[in-house]
Structure 1
Amino acid sequence: MVRPTLLTSLVAAAYAAVAVANKLPGAYIVELEDGHDHATVLNHIDGEASTRMTFDYKLFRGLSFKYHDPQAAESRSKQLAALPAVKKMWPVRIVPKQAVGGVQVVDMALDDDKGVMQAGRLPKDTFAPHVMTQVDRLRAKGITGKGIKVAVIDTGIDFTHPALGNGCFGNGCLVSFGTDLVGDAFNGSNKAIPGNKPMDCVGHGTHVAGIIAAQKNPLGFTGAATGVTLGAYRVFGCQGHTANDVLVAAFNKAFEDGANIITASIGAPEGWSEDPWALTASRIVQAGVPCTIAAGNDGASGLFYTDSGASGKGVTAVASYDNVDAPLVSFHSTYNINDGRSIDFIYTPGDPAEWGLSMPLYATSLDYHIDDDACKPLPANTPDLGKYIVLVRRGGCLFTDKLNNVVAKGAQYVMFYNNEPDAVIVSPDDPTIVKATGMVSPKIGIDWVKLLKAGRKVTLNIENLAQSKPVLSSSPNNITGGTVSTYSSWGPTWEMEFKPQIGAPGGGILSTLPVSMGSYGVMSGTSMATPLTAAIIALISEVRGTFDPELMTNLLSSTAKPSQFNDGNNTYAEIAPAPQQGGGLVQAYDAAYATSLLSPSSLSFNDTDHLATNLNFTITNQGSSAVTYKLDQIPSITMYTLGQDGISPMSFPNEPVNAQASLTFSQNSITLPAGHRAVVSVTAKPAAGAINPKRLALWSGYVTITGSDGSHLSMPYQGLTGSLNKATVLERGQAW
Structure 2
Amino acid sequence: MRVHPALAALLGALTYTTNAVAAASVDDAEASSAAVDESIVKGSYIVEFDGDEDSGAFYQDLNADGIEVEHHRMDMKYQLFKGASFHLKGDVAELEAAASVIAAKPRVKSIWPVRKIYFPKPDVTHVGSNVSELPQRVKRQEGNGNLFTPHVMTQVDKLLAEGYTGKGLRIGLVDTGVDYTHPALGGCFGKGCLIEYGYDFNGDNDTSPVPIPDDDPYDGCIGHGTHVAGIIAAQLNEHNFTGAAPGVTLGMYKATGCGGETTNEMLLSGFLAAFEDGSDIISCSAGDDSGWSSDPWAMVASRIAEAGVPVIVAPGNSGNSGLWYPSTPASGLAVTAAGSVENVVLPSLVKAATFSVNNSTQTERFGVRFGSPSFQVNVTLPLWAVSNDTTSETDACDALPNDTPDLSDKAVLLRMPTSGSDCTTATQVKNLADKGARYVLWYSQTNSNIPDVYASGESIEAVAGIPSEQGAKFISLLNEGSTVTVDINDWSSAGLFIHNLDNPITGGYTSRSSSWGPTQEIDVKPQVTTPGGDILSTYPLNLGGYAVLSGTSMATPLLAAIFALVAEVRGTKDPQVLRSLISSTAKPNVWFDGQTAHNDILAPVAQQGAGLAQAWEAAHATTILSESSISFNDSDHFVAERTFTIQNTAAEDVTYILGHTKALTMYTFSDNGADVLSTTAFPNPTADGWAELSFASDEITVPAGGVSEVTVTLTPPQSLNATLLPIYSGYITLNSTNEESLVLPYLGVFGSLHDTPIVQAGYDGGVFLTDTNGHFNIPSAANTTFTLNRPDSNSSSAGVIYPKLIIWPTLGAPTLRADLIALTDTGLPTTNWKGYETLGPLAGFPATLVPRNGASSWFYGVLDDGTIVPEGTYIFVTSGVRVFGDASKEEDWDVVETVPFVLKYKS
Same fold (TM over 0.5): yes
Match of 1:705 in 2: 734
Equivalent of residue 173 in structure 1, options 193, 208, 218: 193
State the 1:700 CA deviation. 0.6
State the 1:732 CA deviation. 4.0
Q: 1:127 to 1:35 in 2, by over 3 A?
A: closer
Determine if the alignment matches structure 1 residue 629 to structure 2 residue 648.
no
Match of 1:38 in 2: 55
State the 1:150 CA deviation. 0.8
Q: 1:79 to 1:259 in 2, by over 3 A?
A: same
State the 1:53 CA deviation. 1.7
Match of 1:390 in 2: none
Match of 2:880 in 1: none
Q: 1:490 to 1:422 in 2, by over 3 A?
A: farther
Match of 1:442 in 2: 452
State the 1:555 CA deviation. 0.4
State the AA in 2 paired with 1:674.
A
Equivalent of residue 691 in structure 2, options 658, 661, 671: 661
State the AA in 2 paired with 1:658.
D
State the AA in 2 paired with 1:727.
T
Equivalent of residue 50 in structure 1, options 54, 59, 71: 71
Q: Over residues 648-679 of structure 1, what are the superposed CA-to-partner deviations in whole Å (9 max), with x where a residue is unaligned? A: 32111111111111112222110111111111
Q: 1:124 to 1:177 in 2, by over 3 A?
A: closer
Match of 2:39 in 1: 22
- Give SS of 2:240's match: coil
Q: 1:104 to 1:345 in 2, by over 3 A?
A: closer
Matches of 1:495 and 1:665, distance apart in 2: 26
- Give SS of 2:351's match: strand
State the 1:296 CA deviation. 0.8
More divergent stretch after superposition (87-96 vs 170-179): 87-96
State the 1:450 CA deviation. 9.7
Alignment of 1:243-642 (within 5 A): 243-331=263-351, 346-347=368-369, 441-443=451-453, 445-447=454-456, 463=492, 469-573=495-599, 574-642=601-669
State the 1:728 CA deviation. 2.0
Q: 1:509 to 1:695 in 2, by over 3 A?
A: same
Determine if the alignment matches structure 1 residue 195 to structure 2 residue 214.
yes
- Give SS of 1:163's match: helix
Q: 1:650 to 1:347 in 2, by over 3 A?
A: same
**Structure 1: runs of 5 or more not aligned:** 6-13, 106-119, 334-343, 350-356, 359-417, 426-439, 453-459
Match of 1:112 in 2: none
Matches of 1:325 and 1:313, distance apart in 2: 34
Bigger radius of gyration: 2
- Give SS of 1:173's match: coil
More divergent stretch after superposition (559-568 vs 474-483): 474-483
* Conservation of the 8 A alpha-carbon contact between 2:286 and 2:313: yes
Q: Over residues 675-695 of structure 1, what are the superposed CA-to-partner deviations in whole Å (9 max), with x where a residue is unaligned? A: 111111222211221x22121
Matches of 2:755 and 2:282, distance apart in 1: 38
* Conservation of the 8 A alpha-carbon contact between 1:498 and 1:604: yes
Q: 1:192 to 1:612 in 2, by over 3 A?
A: same
* Conservation of the 8 A alpha-carbon contact between 2:448 and 2:503: no
Q: Over residues 266-295 of structure 1, what are the superposed CA-to-partner deviations in whole Å (9 max), with x where a residue is unaligned? A: 112211222222122111111111110011
Matches of 2:74 and 2:588, distance apart in 1: 42
Match of 1:415 in 2: none
* Conservation of the 8 A alpha-carbon contact between 2:655 and 2:700: yes
Matches of 2:457 and 2:43, distance apart in 1: 56
Q: Over residues 227-273 of structure 1, what are the superposed CA-to-partner deviations in whole Å (9 max), with x where a residue is unaligned? A: 11111111111113111110110111111111111101011221122
Matches of 2:255 and 2:88, distance apart in 1: 22
* Conservation of the 8 A alpha-carbon contact between 1:266 and 1:294: yes
State the 1:468 CA deviation. 5.8
State the AA in 2 paired with 1:666.
A
State the AA in 1 paired with 2:113.
P
* Conservation of the 8 A alpha-carbon contact between 1:502 and 1:560: yes
* Conservation of the 8 A alpha-carbon contact between 1:672 and 1:678: yes
More divergent stretch after superposition (62-71 vs 267-276): 62-71
- Give SS of 1:28's match: strand
- Give SS of 1:539's match: helix
Equivalent of residue 229 in structure 1, options 225, 249, 256: 249
Matches of 1:203 and 1:239, distance apart in 2: 11
Matches of 2:447 and 2:58, distance apart in 1: 56
Alignment of 1:130-169 (within 5 A): 130-166=151-187, 168-169=188-189
**Structure 2: runs of 5 or more not aligned:** 6-13, 19-35, 128-140, 354-365, 378-441, 462-488, 769-806, 808-907
Aligned length: 611
Q: Over residues 607-649 of structure 1, what are the superposed CA-to-partner deviations in whole Å (9 max), with x where a residue is unaligned? A: 1111122221111111011111111111100111122255232
* Conservation of the 8 A alpha-carbon contact between 1:185 and 1:238: no
- Give SS of 1:211's match: helix
State the 1:451 CA deviation. 6.7
Match of 2:743 in 1: 714
Matches of 2:656 and 2:263, distance apart in 1: 48
* Conservation of the 8 A alpha-carbon contact between 1:185 and 1:239: no
State the 1:85 CA deviation. 1.1
Matches of 1:637 and 1:348, distance apart in 2: 45
State the 1:449 CA deviation. 11
- Give SS of 2:612's match: coil
More divergent stretch after superposition (38-47 vs 153-162): 38-47
Q: 1:441 to 1:16 in 2, by over 3 A?
A: closer
Q: 1:562 to 1:54 in 2, by over 3 A?
A: same
Q: 1:518 to 1:697 in 2, by over 3 A?
A: same
State the 1:696 CA deviation. 1.1
Over the aligned positions, Cα root-mean-square deviation in angstroms equals: 3.4
Q: Over residues 327-373 of structure 1, what are the superposed CA-to-partner deviations in whole Å (9 max), with x where a residue is unaligned? A: 1112359xxxxxxxxxx994489xxxxxxx99xxxxxxxxxxxxxxx
TM-score (normalised: structure 1): 0.77
State the 1:595 CA deviation. 0.5
Q: Over residues 69-101 of structure 1, what are the superposed CA-to-partner deviations in whole Å (9 max), with x where a residue is unaligned? A: 462333321221111010011222222112443
Q: 1:63 to 1:302 in 2, by over 3 A?
A: same
Match of 2:723 in 1: 694
Identity %: 44
Matches of 2:174 and 2:504, distance apart in 1: 33
* Conservation of the 8 A alpha-carbon contact between 2:71 and 2:210: no
- Give SS of 1:78's match: helix
State the 1:524 CA deviation. 0.6
State the 1:15 CA deviation. 11
State the AA in 1 paired with 2:201.
L
Matches of 1:700 and 1:190, distance apart in 2: 47
* Conservation of the 8 A alpha-carbon contact between 1:29 and 1:64: yes
Match of 2:427 in 1: none
State the AA in 1 paired with 2:693.
L
Matches of 1:139 and 1:672, distance apart in 2: 31
* Conservation of the 8 A alpha-carbon contact between 1:186 and 1:240: no
State the AA in 2 paired with 1:531.
P
- Give SS of 1:554's match: helix
* Conservation of the 8 A alpha-carbon contact between 2:186 and 2:195: yes
Matches of 2:17 and 2:98, distance apart in 1: 23
Matches of 1:140 and 1:221, distance apart in 2: 13
- Give SS of 2:636's match: coil
- Give SS of 1:446's match: coil
- Give SS of 2:718's match: coil
Determine if the alignment matches structure 1 residue 82 to structure 2 residue 108.
no
State the AA in 2 paired with 1:174.
L
